[in-house]
């Protein structure tokens, strides 16, 4: 009868599991059909990842399916979503106790976040890596990872990541029996989570603090906190921490020698861990179960559970896996350092190229500016030279005209001088003849005089021609004299014109039909009005105007 009941129960369980599996497959199939209808890539990927994230706390196996499905259809350049998927897969495999695979995913996600320059996500990846080190008892490596996470976000002021890191640090210090450092880390985490009003994480830190109370033999205080923590976690979908809470409560009852309650909570942790495939969490549970049965003198069950403990322990905490984790970490660190060196090298190369380009540009523009300046200078020099040549030619032509005019003028002056001399002699002769005789010859003399006077008129015409020549030579000079020396009289200006032609006092006197003394007096007045220095000739001064 009992065997029939057992068979019926087994069949019922089998069909229940089968129906549940079919239901899950149907749900997954329906979701796939819904996703296949979405055309937009971003919308499709977001839907799959959101679904996987939602399942991650409740159903790791199903969550993994969705993450792997999303990974298969990811675009190659979609680094952000790829990094997120790798990070979440790392957490799934960590709960399963496959730490080498978990470390691989964690390292790859950190590498991608490094390429994306996402320091917040890099810090989050560091926490995951630190937890893995802590699980395999590499506590100092875990402390380094948690401190690195804090350093990465210190400038970003992300309080949540900092508090999570302090919470994990407390566990590593506790394992190293640095109780004071552990308390300090937990208190920092509690302070931040309290300010953030993050009840879930605050519950986690309080639970860790309770473990420290247990270390200090404050068992009742510790047990009370652990039971409250377990009650809180049961109302959430956090299966991983719920398993841990069951194990911690079981440990506290074991210490208090309440083996029945310890066994009860241990069995609960084993049942949930098996359901969620948390292989790593089964190690401690079977070890504790073995100790409980040994205390209860049930050595057969103690041995059976010890065998199970060794089985899971060897698969999870093997030396080979620890080496693989270490190798993965070293490889990742090497790749990060290599990338940093490559980045620095590229920056140096780029900087050098910029300097070379800058120098080339400076030289290029210097040559261009130099050429333009040289061309401008050459053009200006040519213009000046052409202008100088034109001026020189004008001066030569003018000098030639002056020379010709001077030659003509001197000829006229010489002729005029002869006429004047002739008039003087004639006047003297008439005077002498007039005084000496009253004869009829006077008439003849008068006729002769008239003829000579006619010749004088001709001479005066020549003088008029002379004046025209003077005006031509001194064209514009009279205006200069008026502007510079407005106090000179017209007569004085005319004398200046003669002096400019370098005529002597005697020649000027003859032209103006004036005495030499009067010309000298005019020269004196001109020198005084022009304020000509005593050591300078008047003619040179006038010619320089």
DSSP calls for 32-100: HHHHHT---HHHHHHHHHHHHHHHHTT-HHHHHHHHHHHHHT--TT-HHHHHHHHHHHHHHHHHHT-HH
Among the three residues 317, 347, 380, which one is the final residue of a domain in this structure?
317
Residue 225 falls inside a structural domain:
yes
CA distance 219 to 254: 11
Whether residue 265 lies inside any domain: the answer is yes
- Cα–Cα nearest to 69, from 86, 53, 48: 48
Task: Assess contact for 238 and 57: CB atoms under 8 A.
Answer: yes
On whether residue 456 sits in a domain, the answer given is yes
CA distances from 5 to 11, 15, 17, 18, 51 (A): 10, 15, 18, 20, 40
Query: Residue 87 domain-assigned?
Result: no
- pLDDT over 90 for what percent of the chain? 21
Confidence at 20, pLDDT banded by 50, 70, 90: very low
Cα 253 vs. chain centroid, distance in angstroms?
63
Distances in Å between the Cα of 136 and the Cα atoms of 189, 215, 524 are: 23, 21, 125
Q: For the domain that residue 518 is a member of, what is the CATH number?
A: 1.10.10.10
Residues 6+ apart with CB under 8 A from 266: 246, 247, 250, 285, 288, 289, 292
Task: Evaluate whether residue 211 is within a structural domain.
Answer: no
- Residue 364 inside a domain? The answer is no
Domain assignment of residue 290, given as a range: 216-317
Tens digits of per-residue pLDDT, 186-240? Answer: 999 999 999 999 988 888 898 888 888 888 888 888 889 888 888 888 888 788 8
Does a structural domain hold residue 7? Answer: no
- Among 257, 291, 317, residue at a domain's last position: 317
Residue 109, pLDDT score: 92
Predicted confidence (pLDDT) at residue 146 exceeds the cutoff of 80: yes
Residue 183 counted as domain residue = no
279 neighbors 98 (Cβ within 8 angstroms): yes
274-319 per-position pLDDT tens digit: 888 787 788 888 999 999 999 989 989 889 898 888 888 877 665 4
| Confidence category of residue 425, pLDDT binned at 50, 70, 90 | low
Q: Structural domain tally of the chain? A: 2
CA distance 96 to 315: 11
Domain CATH code at residue 281: 1.25.40.10
Task: Give the mean pLDDT of 250-271.
Answer: 90
Among 317, 345, 372, which residue terminates a domain? 317
Specify the range with the lowest mean pLDDT, choosing from 91-105, 321-335, 363-377, 525-539: 321-335
Tokens of 298: 């049930």
Q: How far apart are CA 333 and CA 103, in angstroms?
A: 13
Yes or no: say if 100 and 138 are a contact pair by the CB < 8 Å rule. no
């Amino acid at each position: 009868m009992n065997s029939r009941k057992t068979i019926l129960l087994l069949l019922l369980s089998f069909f229940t599991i089968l129906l549940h599996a079919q239901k899950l497959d149907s749900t997954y199939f329906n979701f796939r059909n819904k996703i296949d209808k979405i055309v937009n890539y971003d919308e499709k990927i977001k839907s799959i990842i959101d679904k996987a994230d939602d399942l991650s706390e409740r159903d790791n196996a199903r969550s993994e399916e969705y993450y792997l499905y999303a990974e298969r259809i990811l675009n190659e350049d979609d680094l952000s979503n790829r990094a997120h998927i790798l990070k979440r897969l790392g957490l799934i495999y960590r709960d399963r106790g496959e730490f080498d695979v978990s470390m691989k995913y964690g390292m790859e996600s950190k590498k991608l976040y490094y390429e994306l320059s996402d320091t917040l996500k890099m810090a989050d990846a560091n926490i995951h890596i630190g937890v893995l080190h802590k699980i395999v008892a590499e506590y100092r490596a875990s402390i380094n990872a948690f401190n690195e996470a804090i350093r990465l976000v210190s400038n970003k002021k992300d309080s949540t990541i900092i508090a999570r890191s302090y919470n994990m640090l407390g566990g590593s210090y506790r394992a190293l029996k640095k109780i004071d450092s552990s308390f300090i880390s937990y208190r920092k985490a509690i302070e931040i989570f309290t300010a953030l009003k993050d009840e879930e994480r605050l519950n986690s830190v309080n639970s860790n603090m309770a473990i420290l109370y247990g270390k200090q033999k404050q068992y009742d205080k510790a047990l009370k906190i652990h039971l409250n923590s377990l009650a809180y976690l049961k109302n959430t979908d956090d299966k991983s921490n719920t398993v841990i809470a069951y194990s911690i409560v079981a440990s506290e009852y074991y210490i208090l020698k309440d083996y029945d309650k310890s066994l009860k909570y241990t069995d609960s942790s084993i049942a949930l861990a098996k359901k969620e495939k948390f292989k790593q969490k089964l190690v401690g549970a079977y070890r504790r179960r073995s100790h409980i049965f040994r205390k209860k003198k049930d050595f057969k069950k103690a041995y059976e559970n010890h065998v199970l403990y060794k089985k899971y322990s060897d698969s999870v905490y093997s030396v080979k896996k620890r080496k693989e984790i270490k190798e993965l970490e070293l490889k990742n660190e090497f790749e990060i350092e290599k990338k940093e060196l490559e980045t620095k090298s590229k920056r140096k190369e780029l900087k050098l190229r910029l300097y070379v380009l800058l120098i080339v540009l400076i030289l290029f523009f210097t040559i261009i500016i130099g050429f333009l300046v040289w061309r401008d200078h050459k053009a200006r020099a040519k213009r000046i030279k052409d202008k100088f040549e034109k001026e020189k030619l004008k001066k030569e032509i003018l000098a030639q005209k002056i020379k010709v005019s001077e030659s003509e003028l001197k000829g006229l002056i010489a002729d005029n001088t002869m006429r004047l001399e002739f008039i003087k002699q004639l006047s003297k002769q008439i005077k002498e003849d007039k005084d000496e005789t009253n004869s009829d010859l006077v008439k003849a003399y008068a006729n002769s005089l008239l003829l000579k006077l006619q010749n004088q008129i001709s001479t005066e015409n020549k003088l008029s021609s002379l004046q025209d020549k003077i005006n031509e030579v001194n064209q514009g000079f009279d205006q200069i004299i008026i502007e510079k020396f407005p106090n000179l009289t017209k007569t004085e200006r005319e004398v200046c014109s003669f002096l400019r032609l370098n005529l002597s006092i005697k020649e000027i006197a003859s032209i103006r039909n004036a005495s030499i003394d009067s010309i000298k007096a005019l020269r004196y007045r001109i020198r005084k009005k022009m304020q000509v220095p005593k050591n300078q000739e008047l003619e040179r001064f006038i010619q320089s105007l």
